[in-house]
Amino acid sequence: MNKEALAEKDEAFMDLACRLAARGRGNTKPNPMVGAVLVRRGNAFSTGYHRRPGAPHAEVVAMEGAKQDVAGATLYVNLEPCAHHGRTPPCVDLILAKKIRRVVIGTKDTNPLVNGRSIAALRRKGVEVTYGVLEEKCRRLNETFFKHVETNKPFVTLKAALTLDGKIASATGESQWISCPASRRKVHKLRSIVDAILVGVETVLHDDPQLTVREIRGAANPCRVVMDSRLRVPMTARVLEGSAETLLATTDRAPKRKIRQLESKGIRVEVFRPDRSGKVPLGRLLSRLGKRGMQHVLLEGGSGIYTTALKAGEVDKLLLFVAPLLLGGKEAPSLFDGIGFSSPKKALAVRDLRWRRSDRDLMLEAYCSGPGTPASGQTRSTGNRT
């Protein structure tokens, strides 16, 4: 087989490994999503994926489940196999024991416990290793895992519903409902796989949200995090109800009595030294959430926290539901308020913009680049289905 044909085959089987890995979405944390495919003479004969922490890794599932001898076969896996003992033995040892001839890897595992060690170990034992196949796709698949292991901070997705003129609420603060039911269901599905939902206290005061997963049967609720520099949250707020864990991030300017009152209800209160504006420092809060093992935080509002996060460069991904409405009004809050950038050249750029319909709404997904960074990647439609 010539190099071009082999590369084409490698990409096809790696794509299959990625699709298998995605079956574990929302169930594998703190582990990444991994899929594996065993191939002989151009045909896949066994597959596997990682289902949950403590369960066999994808490579093990594929090798142990094969109905024929795997010696001499090629193993495709979207993430570098583990080389260390965790809840399960190292996959590298089993690959060597089973005499796999070639291993094709999508991307390195940048966890310091791995980070190329498996590739080196396999090559030392004479196993042919190819890595970097569909690497961008493989990294995107586990983008929250990579952000966390590389920075100790969670991946942040900013979700917002807004009108065609960019308003996220009316001048009176009313925002229920800008998005349609189909869009709200998508948000609940996203809530079911994140570790935390982060909002500012203004959102709690205006909307009194529950911040729970209600439209996905059997899904667990993420931790609810409220930034409230002076603890203005009412004791009757629905976000304080016991249906999910709640963490209030405040400053040392908050009333001590209110802190004790909240803690007596089982609410966790984290106290920070205020930033220059007297508010909870978002960067330090995210670092603290990362240290607690949270890989993915969903930022749900409002305008103040959106603006703070965007200007601080703390947003990794945008998920915007644009409704066919015009609210108008100078006082109506927008997605990005306050003092903006002085020119388009200095604006916050987005890249890899994708869009599709969500019933009556338009759902936009994009990644954030730094201020003044030219947007890259192509805008592309992923279809018009809801």
Active site (catalytic) residues: 59
Inter-residue contact 280 to 202 (CB < 8 Å): no
The HSE-up count of residue 295 (CA atoms within 13 Å, CB side) is 19
CA dist., res. 229 & res. 33, Å (int): 36
CA dist., res. 241 & res. 306, Å (int): 25
Inter-residue contact 187 to 197 (CB < 8 Å): no
Sheet containing 196-200, strands listed edge to edge, beginning at the edge strand earlier in sequence: 268-272, 246-251, 223-227, 196-200, 296-301, 155-163, 317-323, 361-371, 348-358, 380-381
The HSE-up count of residue 253 (CA atoms within 13 Å, CB side) is 11
* H-run or E-run covering 225: strand 223-227
Q: Which three-class secondary structure state does DSSP give residue 122?
A: helix
CA dist., res. 356 & res. 344, Å (int): 26
Burial 21-48 (b: 16+ CB within 10 A, else e): beebeeebbebbbbbbbbbbeeebebbb
Residue that has been written with the tokens 């009556």 in this structure: 360
Using CA atoms, how far residue 229 sits from 43, 226, 232, 238, 255, in Å, is: 59, 9, 8, 19, 10
